Structure 1
């Protein structure tokens, strides 16, 4: 791709799955048929054949042990339940993320403790994380936002340097396939990582699904028990878990799509490189990539002056876009009791005013991405 790539006059959606479906339809239909003919749909504390196969295949990609679950949100909740996060515990995280990150903490009665972001990376500021640790801190939840991982070794050092046990639980919902600046995968420097397979993700199910990844075999066993109501042996429960099971149909579909993940991520990276080439030196600020990091671009998010007007301009010309995220979590009404005020985290709040996601799904044609860049840049002429 180059700056002279031929463009198109047709609308460009922010995201669509119809093209991908046609490309993998025969594979997916065969996998679904295999499940239906087996009539073996369930998993629990012990994985069934289809869920187990997906867990094994994903584990080969990311390393460690994989426990398939019902959603990315449930992965966060199950991880904290299994690690015994309790009411009154403090969990440090970012206010600039999807709601589930902090919502899961609150659902367990724990207290989300927010810290501001680095304005370049949109990831939370490690110096502020270290300053936020108290005697009540039980966990830290970094978010590998938009598909980029930060310095996991430095974060692990903060957790290990505390006088009490602090678990690092990575919210890797947007980062399957990503690597940190030293080439580490998810969960290498953390107790576990939480994945989401929501349909729009780089690896998406046909509905909700998620997973936990850990290098700790005993913890993986506890995660499997947690997804089956805390069941340790059939109908015997030593602790309270939940119904967090992934069904066999989703596992079979994901197992098919997993074969294509590297190709899809490489295409996302190529699209991102083209956009960045086009936007560098313009009014649009392309995303900052941490040196050495392997970004998988779940979203391609720019900073733009007059962001809302740019979004309207794109829509008028048939180009999809969206704001991830328009309102920081510390000023959401449901977290008013935490006592944060507007202005508490200025970098997160400024990002909410300036960020805009542009189309970056792997089935986009060169002509479509050329149109996205042309239309975006024309707004500032």
Structure 2
């Protein structure tokens, strides 16, 4: 048996006729850049998120960058964000000359530790980015309360949390604007790069529409220092098909996660914690063990392919050495980075495949020179 970390072929086979038909429609209409497919996807995704506007762009990274630009964040301004996240969260800030200010994560959900945010706020702080990491929403009530007290913008990085709820609302509508990625492996993924901004603010919507297309106000009239960052028609058509299945696929991810919890409970590994007010859509299923590297190699030998999200906290990345953080500044993230392992999870993962993964982990625990160790 071989179990890939992600298996997009299985998903494609399920919706093949619809996707193939949508691609042929775009080719027939020659609507490759912009056009009806992009406009329709923007309307449909905004409605799905219960937001007024969606602006489709070419990546989640650009979505974050454009949000910062639309808010007037500039060189030298500071934006607070978690140190435990994909580097795109920080690059969206630093690409415009602003300074990412890192905060450690919670030791059970891996999301930003809201109790450590206020100590990082200075006179130069303009915004807080709440990342809904691995598919579980951040603690938005606390983030919003802190932001209100200090008159800061809240930006949501929902690139891993399509369709997740915080309490009774979908993520993406709590902050002034939210960034989504439609990278192929995401819960809602295109067949290439893609991203989008969700907002209820008409000014942000208008500004980002200009920024994504050379700063155009109308054809050949450029009023902003924009760029080329458009979602193409083929990707929009594919995303429109997939959006219809997103809730169903998220429910299947939750069932896979539930079976993981049931199967792996009792083994000496840490399973992901889920807070009751946070609806986890399990973009990733992340476990922890002191024997992470050995387990990773053992599973690979069994043809079970896993991932690590993320092995290097942002303050250790070479690009951010100039921020002068040091070892020990973010102890929770530093420890988890050496212990976390992402198991395969996708809607099409079969029960017998999960059992195979469970048995392989069990075998490793029995044959290992030292047992799997839990920090709890």
Question: Quick one: distance in 2 between partners of 1:146 and 1:333?
Answer: 24
Residue in 2 aligned with 1:204? Answer: 189
How far is 1:238 from its partner?
A: 2.6
1:50 aligns with 2:50: no
How far is 1:228 from its partner?
A: 1.4
How far is 1:236 from its partner?
A: 2.4
Residue in 1 aligned with 2:20? Answer: 29
Residue in 2 aligned with 1:7? Answer: none
How far is 1:377 from its partner?
A: 2.3
Residue in 2 aligned with 1:161? Answer: 149
Most deviating of 206-215 and 230-239: 230-239
SS at match of 2:230: coil
Question: Quick one: distance in 1 between partners of 2:115 and 2:223?
Answer: 39
1:149 aligns with 2:140: no
Q: 2:298 aligns with which of 313, 319, 325?
A: 313
C-alpha contact (below 8 Å) 1:118/1:125 kept by paired residues:
yes
Higher relative contact order (CA 8 A, sep 6+): 1
Residue in 1 aligned with 2:200? Answer: 215
How far is 1:241 from its partner?
A: 2.1
C-alpha contact (below 8 Å) 1:150/1:290 kept by paired residues:
no
Residue in 1 aligned with 2:372? Answer: none
Question: Quick one: distance in 1 between partners of 2:99 and 2:83?
Answer: 13
How far is 1:122 from its partner?
A: 0.3
With structure 2 as the length reference, what TM-score do the two structures score? 0.95
SS at match of 1:140: strand
SS at match of 2:231: coil
C-alpha contact (below 8 Å) 1:58/1:66 kept by paired residues:
yes
C-alpha contact (below 8 Å) 1:183/1:293 kept by paired residues:
no
C-alpha contact (below 8 Å) 1:97/1:143 kept by paired residues:
yes
SS at match of 2:165: coil
1:78 aligns with 2:63: no
Residue in 2 aligned with 1:355? Answer: 340
Residue in 2 aligned with 1:103? Answer: 91
C-alpha contact (below 8 Å) 1:153/1:189 kept by paired residues:
no
How far is 1:153 from its partner?
A: 2.2
| CA deviations over 1:103-159 (Å, ceiling 9, x no partner) | 221111111100111111101111111221111001111111100002212211111
For structure 2, the 5+ residue unaligned runs are 367-376
Residue in 2 aligned with 1:124? Answer: 112
For structure 1, the 5+ residue unaligned runs are 1-9
| CA deviations over 1:350-376 (Å, ceiling 9, x no partner) | 110110000101111111111111111
Q: 2:159 aligns with which of 173, 196, 221?
A: 173
Residue in 2 aligned with 1:278? Answer: 263
C-alpha contact (below 8 Å) 2:184/2:190 kept by paired residues:
yes
Q: 2:126 aligns with which of 110, 114, 138?
A: 138
How far is 1:179 from its partner?
A: 1.0
Residue in 2 aligned with 1:329? Answer: 314
Question: Quick one: distance in 2 between partners of 1:155 and 1:279?
Answer: 33
C-alpha contact (below 8 Å) 1:187/1:215 kept by paired residues:
no
Question: Quick one: distance in 2 between partners of 1:187 and 1:153?
Answer: 14
Question: Quick one: distance in 1 between partners of 2:340 and 2:184?
Answer: 22
Question: Quick one: distance in 1 between partners of 2:302 and 2:158?
Answer: 33
Residue in 1 aligned with 2:219? Answer: 234
C-alpha contact (below 8 Å) 2:106/2:332 kept by paired residues:
yes
SS at match of 1:161: helix
How far is 1:67 from its partner?
A: 0.9
Most deviating of 230-239 and 295-304: 230-239
SS at match of 2:131: coil
How far is 1:59 from its partner?
A: 1.4
C-alpha contact (below 8 Å) 1:116/1:128 kept by paired residues:
yes
Question: Quick one: distance in 1 between partners of 2:95 and 2:238?
Answer: 30
SS at match of 2:303: coil
SS at match of 1:141: strand
Number of residues paired by the alignment? Answer: 365
Q: 1:61 aligns with which of 41, 48, 53?
A: 48
